[in-house]
Amino acid sequence: MAFIRLDKLLSQRGEYSRSEAGKLIRSGAVTVGGQTVCDPAHKLEPQTETVLLNGSPVEDEPFQYILFHKPAGILTAARDSRAQTVMDLLPVALRRRNVMPVGRLDKDTTGLLLLTNDGVLAHQLLSPKRHVVKEYLATVDGPLTPEDVTAFSEGLVLSDFTAKPAELMILTGKQGENSALVRVTEGKYHQVKRMFAACGRQVLTLHRQAFGPLRLDIAVGQYRALSMEERTALHAATQG
């Protein structure tokens, strides 16, 4: 049997440092096998003993899967000497687990960003061959037409590549700003903005509200670990 210290088990989730995990344990927030344990050095066998933190299961997992609500004005990068990055907004404990963004959102784009240290899954999610849908809410500087919907569905020819067929759903249709829902299965640099530009429209705001089976359900700047059900659904989405 492989035994592990209780504080190490909690810190391996990436949400807490070793010292923060120790404080949680000493506060009585952790149970092992139904019994409250207040000793951070307590050793257990995670495969056979159930550990709960505030009533939620804690598992010894090699990978972390984090859903983050990216604010505007933040770079999707590991580090930058001149600008704040999404990694700067995550706790040190998570950064130590080497979680990285899966794909990128432009600096001014908001919404759902997935971070993980599961490189295989990240590669699969980003592969256009897997057809994992990314859903965006966009506002543009003028009216959209049924011809634009058709153009998106047929695949727009851009300067350096032809975008795969995408779904465009017009939500409002006025002379001023208009909103639309866009679903794409690839994510090249500035792709959604360039697709609208090919239709003669400038994107004013862009917000990603879904990535495969994941939907954004937290406030701007917040993050949370994916549930087991979400992780299972995410892996299943790459098999399509």
Cβ neighbours, 10 Å, residue 70:
26
The tokens describing 82, both together, are 């001149």
Using alpha carbons only, give the angle 54, 99, 59 rounded to the nearest 5 degrees.
Answer: 35
What is the DSSP-derived secondary structure letter of residue 171? -
11 and 5 Cβ atoms separated by less than 8 Å: no
Active centre residues (catalytic): 106
Q: What is the C-alpha separation between 132 and 130, in angstroms, rounded?
A: 6
Q: What is the C-alpha separation between 119 and 210, in angstroms, rounded?
A: 20
- Polymer length of the chain: 240
Q: What is the C-alpha separation between 8 and 60, in angstroms, rounded?
A: 9
Long-range contacts of residues 227-231, Cβ cutoff 8 Å, at least 24 apart: 230/65, 230/67, 231/65
